[in-house]
Chains A and B, each alone.
Chain A
């Protein structure tokens, strides 16, 4: 059997058979690498690595109604999960109530349905928001979900200055690859800046944005493209906040990032090391941030995604384990290890538990988390980090040259680059140039038979719609009307929309009512069609 050896990484960076002092000799260690916790943070943002605090084990989870999801969260917390990650259903992500005709068949399916503040309260029943950090994968409707989260924290009597978590809130990548956009670019960016400004003042430990490369990656982008597009998006958001008149050090540490770790072990590690270095320099040199916290590139990530295969699905558990190890060598702050059965459905309790155990074994049995950046100084890893940085910066410059991410997204340029890459990758898989075990090599028949997959409880949809109608039936209709009128008025002024959004959710206005109003004022994005 002939064995093909890759001469480049998946991003196209040349790969030699071995590396030595000619590839990296450490003469610029202080300037380019430096110790963990020291600018430019190539080796990590904390000097002690994971010694004092492990990464947050944050499994993306949510389905059906708030009660069902709350039960899964409590189960995961009992099993030792250390943070929550809320998966919302598509109607919630797109601003439709569960009884909207457009929401039919999608309620509670890929995540939990949240229509009203009551749903959000039920989601966290028995969970203190000042004792846990929560991440929401929510974008177009992020401001509304943040308003609900803040309102729940207030009802629980929590100090807003102590609650912490993340809303994804990164609309630019939605236009490119994840697709849950609603409004056009400008009003969407205004909403994002409103949330960043609000959090910086009122909820300072909450990350108002998690700039995400993950979805570029899963749509087909290479590691280099993923990082270049993400950092370019990050720069756009920083510029918009500065344009609002905010001081860079007032908000920069509320920006976090989010990625996919895919299969190529060292390329992924180099990606994260390069990311920290590039971002630190952008923040210090370009945006003149003074506070070291503003330079620190902090990120969460997912292991799994499009590297998961339907064929021989249990193999996915092994893929995810390797990806998780690369992720901690890369210095992730939080990790979600996907379950092996996710090519088919959302995970069962058993597969979700195995996914969590994968991280716990890594954390407590392998010893790999004891030393910060253990691969630092490796000729190969340092050389690959340098090469990744060069490639990423070149692509970022190209995007800048075209006016930055906004015009590149509106024209479909980024979409085209990703679609090209996805197609080329598929062709390499079809030709066997790239091997996926069990898919284009070492195949077996019938590997997907007799799987026990998670089944949605179809009756949860009716319960969700009933509870939505009950809330509308018993709320103070006048207060709700006034809250919506105040929100409408605020959209026409330059004022921050978070306070009227919080008043609206506290008045039991529904997500659909609020987003419907914003849709009528702001209009909808028009998708450039690219194949």
Chain B
């Protein structure tokens, strides 16, 4: 299981991203954390290069809808449209459905239990291995 955890946009709050990365690693996944200020193009390239089964975005700046839309576009453009994208951060309840409609596999607002987040990623363990 290979998971990319990414911080898109200009937001520098990475506590959540790091905690999730660590929890996934403790659950046996191989985690690639991108560091801050990644563009959607860079994140998609990392997903392809690392042959990831899933990608998690952490966004606390409020720019989650447009950044998610862009990442999904970039993944499709780079032939990785089947890689599920999970999003976490400061997400108002009203935006959860908007994100799902864009094709985001799962949304985890601030305060979501770790076990739930980890289980959501682990569902995609068999995804994309043949790409």
Does the CB pair A178–B13 fall under 8 Å? Answer: yes
CA distance A426 to B37 in the complex (A): 24
Does the CB pair B93–A448 fall under 8 Å? Answer: yes
Does the CB pair B111–A456 fall under 8 Å? Answer: no
CA distance A122 to B35 in the complex (A): 36
Of B9, B10, B113, the most chain A CB neighbours within 10 A belong to B10
Task: Tell me if B15 counts as interface (CB < 8 A to partner A).
Answer: yes
Does the CB pair A456–B62 fall under 8 Å? Answer: yes
Give the nearest-CB partner of A343 in chain B. B110
Does the CB pair A426–B90 fall under 8 Å? Answer: no
Of B19, B25, B37, B111, the most chain A CB neighbours within 10 A belong to B111
Does the CB pair A90–B115 fall under 8 Å? Answer: no
Task: Tell me if B21 counts as interface (CB < 8 A to partner A).
Answer: yes
CA distance A449 to B91 in the complex (A): 13
Give the nearest-CB partner of B96 in chain A. A448
From DSSP, what is the main secondary structure of chain A's interface residues? Answer: loop
Give the nearest-CB partner of A529 in chain B. B35
Does the CB pair A105–B13 fall under 8 Å? Answer: no
CB neighbours of B114 from chain A (8 A): 426-427, 430
Does the CB pair B93–A343 fall under 8 Å? Answer: no
Give the nearest-CB partner of B114 in chain A. A430
A412-440 residues at the B interface, CB under 8 angstroms:
419, 422-423, 426-427, 430, 439
Contact partner, A310, options B19, B37, B94, B109, Cβ 8 Å: B109
Does the CB pair A343–B111 fall under 8 Å? Answer: yes
CB neighbours of A106 from chain B (8 A): 9-10, 61, 63
CA distance A343 to B60 in the complex (A): 9
Does the CB pair B33–A529 fall under 8 Å? Answer: yes
Q: How far is the CB of A350 from chain B (nearest CB, A)?
A: 16
CB neighbours of A529 from chain B (8 A): 33, 35
Q: How far is the CB of A377 from chain B (nearest CB, A)?
A: 37
Does the CB pair A527–B36 fall under 8 Å? Answer: yes
CA distance A109 to B11 in the complex (A): 11
What mask results when residues 497 to 530 of chain A are scored 1 for a CB within 8 Å of chain B, else 0? 0000000000000000000000000000001011
CA distance A91 to B9 in the complex (A): 10
CA distance A219 to B16 in the complex (A): 9
Given A219-B14, A529-B35, does the pair A423, B9 have CB atoms closer than 8 Å?
Answer: no
Give the nearest-CB partner of B8 in chain A. A105
Counting contact residues on chain A (CB < 8 A from B), the size range is 35 or more
CA distance A103 to B91 in the complex (A): 20
Does the CB pair A306–B15 fall under 8 Å? Answer: yes
Does the CB pair B61–A109 fall under 8 Å? Answer: yes
Task: Tell me if B28 counts as interface (CB < 8 A to partner A).
Answer: no
CB neighbours of A96 from chain B (8 A): 10
CB neighbours of A1 from chain B (8 A): none
Does the CB pair A91–B10 fall under 8 Å? Answer: yes
Q: How far is the CB of B86 from chain A (nearest CB, A)?
A: 17
What mask results when residues 447 to 468 of chain A are scored 1 for a CB within 8 Å of chain B, else 0? 0110101001000000000000
B1-48 residues at the A interface, CB under 8 angstroms:
5, 9-15, 18-19, 21-23, 25, 31, 33, 35-37, 39
Task: Tell me if B130 counts as interface (CB < 8 A to partner A).
Answer: no
Does the CB pair A179–B67 fall under 8 Å? Answer: no
CB neighbours of B111 from chain A (8 A): 309-311, 343, 439
Given A105-B66, A345-B92, A419-B22, does the pair A220, B10 have CB atoms closer than 8 Å?
Answer: no
Task: Tell me if A531 counts as interface (CB < 8 A to partner B).
Answer: yes
Does the CB pair B15–A218 fall under 8 Å? Answer: yes
CB neighbours of B63 from chain A (8 A): 105-106, 109
Does the CB pair A422–B15 fall under 8 Å? Answer: yes
Given A310-B109, A343-B111, does the pair A531, B9 have CB atoms closer than 8 Å?
Answer: no
Besides the known contacts A93-B10, A344-B93, A527-B35, 16 further A-B residue pairs in the complex with CB atoms under 8 A apart: A90-B10, A94-B10, A109-B61, A174-B12, A178-B12, A179-B13, A219-B14, A343-B90, A344-B90, A345-B90, A346-B62, A423-B19, A448-B109, A449-B93, A453-B94, A531-B31
Give 11 pairs: A residue, B residue, CB < 8 Å, sorted on A. Answer: A104-B66, A105-B67, A180-B12, A218-B15, A219-B13, A219-B15, A344-B91, A423-B19, A423-B22, A427-B114, A453-B94
Closest 8 A/B residue pairs (Cβ)? A179-B12, A90-B10, A105-B63, A531-B21, A105-B66, A310-B111, A344-B92, A109-B62
